[in-house]
Amino acid sequence: MIVKALRVGLGQMIVFFDWISRPARLKRDPAAQARVEEQARGLSLYQFHACPFCVKTRRTLHRLNVPVALRDAKNNEQDRQALLEGGGKVKVPCLRIEEDGKTTWMYESKVIIDYLNKRFSAV
């Protein structure tokens, strides 16, 4: 009981500190931002709200100004089931990438952040 309360409290502190220290969004001209938004349509991030690795990944999305659909794999049973069936395990963060009729499930925050930086930093 005490451990759960500590975990929940720490999770909320992480979310709060993320909120007050969020990095500035990357500014692009409207045409470039429209291209980014079009490319991001096939992306979904399966995450837990207070998971530190998920927060780190969402900060990168915010900094790069990439609008990605967020899926709550903790509190939404449909999202959790989709993650389990599609990705093979309930582990977050997980980026679902749908391109050219193919779906890829990418795990590990470091791998996801590297992918996002390479794909959207120069756009």
pLDDT in the model for residue 2? 83
Domains of the chain with CATH codes? 2-23+34-120 (3.40.30.10)
Between residues 3 and 67, the one the model is more confident about: 67
Residue 59 CB contacts under 8 Å (≥ 6 apart), including other chains: 18, 22, 23
Predicted confidence at residue 5, as pLDDT, reads 80
Range in 15-24, 70-79, 94-103, 105-114 the model is least confident about: 15-24
pTM assigned to the model: 0.89
Q: Are strands 43-47 and 69-72 parallel, antiparallel or unpaired?
A: parallel
Give the per-residue pLDDT at 74: 94
Q: In what order do the strands lie in the sheet with 69-72?
A: 69-72, 43-47, 94-99, 102-107
Does residue 123 carry a pLDDT above 70? no
pLDDT of residue 119: 95
Q: What is the pLDDT of residue 18?
A: 82
Q: Region 46-71: what's the mean pLDDT?
A: 96
Residue 21 per-residue DSSP state: T
Across the range 74-82, mean pLDDT stands at 96
